[in-house]
Amino acid sequence: MHKPKPTDPNPSVGALEARLRALPQPAVPQDLERRLLASIPATPKARPRLRRIAPVVGLAAAACLVVVVVYSVAWHGREKNQVADLKPVHDNSQGKTSHAGNSGYFVWGRTVADFPDSLGPPGFAWPLAGTSPPASSCASRAISFD
Amino acid sequence: MTKLDERPAWQALRAGHPDACAELVRANYQPVYRFLVHLTRNIHEAEDLTQETFAAAWQRIGSFEGRATPATWLHRIAYSKFIDARRTQRRAADVLDQCPNRGGFPDPHEIVSAGDEVRRLHDALNVLDVIDRAPLVLHYLQGLSYREMAVVLEEPVGTVKWRTSEALHRLRALLREEVTEDAQTETNRS
């Protein structure tokens, strides 16, 4: 059987491009469209994750801010109360001075309320018994300049 | 090539409106299927991959940022699906190399009816490696621009241009070799 020779045995790049563009495309199965349409999800897709979680993150941040503000206001209020508690109040009937309300007075991790009223806050004791800080004077003796 | 030219429709798509999704399918399923047929050289596998492509599109539709056209985006998904399938097949006994044209593409009836030149060109195109075939199919058969091809192949535009040019020269060399072989066969017979 005679085989027909190709018209252009050595096509140029331009001719080859034209031939490629004119190449017949494969046939598409008829039921493919129907199957693809059937695969479309019926329910609307959820929004992207970032957009979905953004309001949640915003609300959480706002809640944190509110908590911080409330706590700081409460803290300042407590500090004011403590300062008022530490002001000495003179009791004329018993002739002694005491703190008006000492429940909030904090000493080394214990409140004054932990001690009996007669004792009051513990005094300071030198760590070495029988010793006292050496007497020192800032004044230089005159002999030093002789 | 049919393309979606609709930014507002894309907004509806992102919201997951079924009508917009149907429009996307109708506008793009044929180019996507043909692209996959050229890549796989198998109509059945191309059909499966087309369905997988659109299934993946519905899953990712909310994250699409609209930098490329929907058609380019779908081609990108299709190409990645093809690459994944080829990796799987290579792991499972290298099916592609054993059966280079196993799915009946082109159809034997098509070969007979088509001209000899078309058949030669088709054969030469199928002989090319996917690395060379993909840019040729995308540019000359699918009608994508180099910029769109760069999105699909995930390579810089310059590289895509160079790859297309190289593939064209390889295809030309293949055709020339075939013509030379045919001429030698004719001479021997005579």
Interatomic CA distance for residues B146 and B138, integer angstroms: 9
- Of all residues in chain A, the one with the smallest CA distance to B54 is A36
CA A129 to each of CA A108, A121, B49: distance values in angstroms, whole numbers, following the listed order: 21, 20, 91
Q: What is the mean pLDDT of residues B117-140?
A: 90
Contact call for B118 and A23, based on CB within 8 A: yes
Q: Which helix (H) or strand (E) holds A88?
A: strand A88-91
- Facing A26 at nearest CB: one of B15, B37, B171: B37
Q: Which helix (H) or strand (E) holds A90?
A: strand A88-91
Phi, psi of B30 (to 5 degrees): -70, -50
- What does pTM read for this prediction? 0.60
Residue A25, chain B, CB below 8 Å: the answer is: yes
Task: Determine the pLDDT at residue B169.
Answer: 93
- Of all residues in chain B, the one with the smallest CA distance to A26 is B34
Q: What is the mean pLDDT of residues B163-178?
A: 90
Mean pLDDT score across all residues of chain B: 82
pLDDT band at A61 (very low <50, low <70, confident <90, very high): very high
Measured in angstroms, the CA of B90 and the nearest CA of chain A are apart by 25
Q: What is the mean pLDDT of residues B125-134?
A: 91
B96 has pLDDT over 90: no
Mean pLDDT score across all residues of chain A: 70
Strands A106-107, A96-99: pairing kind: unpaired
Q: What is the mean pLDDT of residues A46-62?
A: 77
CB B178 within 8 A of CB B164: no
When comparing pLDDT for A104 and B11, which is higher? B11
Residue A43: burial class (beta carbons within 10 Å; 0-12, 13-18, 19+): exposed
Q: What is the mean pLDDT of residues B48-59?
A: 93
ipTM of the complex model: 0.75
Chosen for mutation from B25, B40, B170, B184 (greatest number of chain A CBs closer than 10 Å) is B25
Contact call for B121 and A20, based on CB within 8 A: yes
Q: What is the mean pLDDT of residues A46-72?
A: 83
Task: Name the B residues in 32-71 with CB < 8 Å from any A CB.
Answer: 33-34, 37-38, 43, 47, 50-51, 54-55, 58, 61-63
- Of all residues in chain B, the one with the smallest CA distance to A17 is B140
Which pLDDT tens digit goes with each residue over B68-94?
Answer: 888 999 999 999 999 999 888 877 655
B177 has pLDDT over 90: no
Measured in angstroms, the CA of A55 and the nearest CA of chain B are apart by 17
Residue B169, chain A, CB below 8 Å: the answer is: yes
Highest mean pLDDT out of A86-95, A107-116, B101-110:
A86-95
CA B121 to each of CA B138, B166, B171: distance values in angstroms, whole numbers, following the listed order: 16, 16, 8
When comparing pLDDT for B162 and A9, which is higher? B162
Q: Which residues contact B177 (CB under 8 A, 6 or more apart)?
A: none
